[in-house]
Amino acid sequence: MGRAPRSSRRAARRRGIGAVLIVPALVAPALTALLSLAAAAPAAAAAGDSDVTLAEDSSGSTLDLSVEATASVVLTASGGTGYAWRTLREPDAAVIPPPADAPWPYVVAQGDLPGSPVSWVWYLAPAAPGTTTLAAGLFPPGAETPEATYRLDIVVRDGSSASATLNDAACGRIVAVDSDATVAITLPSNASTGYSWRVTQEPEPFLVAEPGSGDYAAPPAGSPPGAGGSQTFAWRATAAGSTGLQLGYVPPAATAPETTCSLTVVAGAPVPRPPKPGDAAGGSPDGSLGPSPPPTAAEAHEDGGFSGPGSVAFVVLLVAAAVTTPVLAIRRRRARGA
């Protein structure tokens, strides 16, 4: 039997290649989804009352925290690179002491794959009102100088963690409250001049203005003529969330404020809590984060086990190869016969 024309053989090869590509094309989306899920899996966190979790973008800010509340600073780097966050300045132990029986910070792996994010967590539980600072640096492997730095000024106020009653000294701060708390700020104002405070940036919908928010309070009786009073703005948090808001002091007959007061309100955010003594590495029974560091690339290679998302992806590839190999062989035989 003579050989088929070259054009026929090419068409057969194209049909064979198309058949071989069908299964990988079907498998690839699932494999991609598995790998994306593994890379993006967040670290578990235990919920708490009046708690706030801060990341690197809060560097340079001031946190306004009740003495009854808690907070965590979570700084992240890629695992297996040798980079690590270290404390440069610890908070004043009289204001925020280090946690008992737990590293400070403690390290948390956020995934099973080599290179998954790793977090360093400073758990902050105030002991007394006061002002203090936390500073940290991101150090490359073997370096004595940080490549990046983080700084958070902390004001611990005395009062109920269920609400925050603030004055103009709180402008520019991060305020942490319960998810069903009230945030109120009182600002000096003088109605006799025609100036007044107005909301110039509305908060997110979960922060709802209380009745009478922004009303003017006249100065006490007996005050001299022209004395100023105050305006109090208040919002109630109806859910957990984070939002910015801004108030502006607007001159008479004007629309643009002459000065502003901004706040960031964080309500009911979950806090990664330190591991309890005796907890197994990788997490504690109550769902809080454990002190398990991530495996290095060498450790992951030496493990050899079949567990976690990486193993699932490997099995999917084996199945794809097992299905496509016979199809390729059949197509080749048919092409020779043609």
Q: What is the 3-state secondary structure (H, E, C) of 309-334?
A: HHHHHHHHHHHHHHHHHHHHHHHHHH
Residue with tokens 């269920």: 162
**Predicted pLDDT of residue 109:** 82
pLDDT by 10s per residue, the chain, length 338: 454 454 444 444 444 444 444 444 444 444 444 334 333 333 223 333 347 888 999 999 999 888 888 899 999 998 888 999 999 999 999 999 998 878 889 998 877 777 788 999 999 999 999 999 999 999 999 999 999 999 999 988 876 656 788 999 899 999 888 888 899 999 999 999 999 999 999 999 999 999 999 999 999 888 898 899 999 999 999 988 889 999 999 999 999 999 999 999 988 766 777 776 655 444 332 333 333 333 333 333 333 333 334 444 444 444 455 545 554 555 555 555 55
Token pair of 145 as six digits: 């100088």
Q: For residue 138, what pLDDT is reported?
A: 96
Q: Give, for 65, the enclosing helix (H) or strand (E).
A: strand 61-66
Nearest C-alpha neighbor of 166 from the set 271, 60, 262: 262
Q: What's residue 326's pLDDT?
A: 52
C-alpha 64/C-alpha 173 separation (Å) is 6
Strands 163-166, 182-189: pairing is parallel
Q: Which residue has the tokens 């808001």?
A: 245
- The 3-state secondary structure of 206-270 reads CEEECCCCCCEECCCCCCCCCCCEEEEEEEEECCCEEEEEEEEEECCCCCCCCEEEEEEEEECCC
SS3 194: coil
**Phi/psi of residue 22, nearest 5 degrees:** -60, -55
Alpha carbon distance 221, 42 (integer Å)? 57
Give the torsion sign (CA, 26, 31, 36, 38).
Answer: positive
Residue 189 makes CB contacts below 8 A (sequence gap 6+) with 195, 196, 197, 216, 228, 229, 230, 231, 249
Burial of 125 (0-12, 13-18, 19+ CB in 10 A): buried
pLDDT of residue 335: 54
Bridge partners, 10 (sequence order):
none
Quote the Cα angle for 76-82-84, to 5°: 40
Residue holding tokens 């794809």?
320
Residues 6+ apart with CB under 8 A from 311: 305
The pLDDT of residue 282? 42
> What pLDDT does residue 330 have?
52
123: which DSSP letter?
E
Diameter of the chain measured on Cα atoms: 118
Identify whether the C-beta of residue 155 lies closer than 8 Å to the C-beta of residue 69. no
Residue 8, CB-side half-sphere exposure with 13 Å CA sphere: 9
Radius of gyration of the chain (CA): 30
Q: What is the pTM of this model?
A: 0.59
Amino acid at 130: G
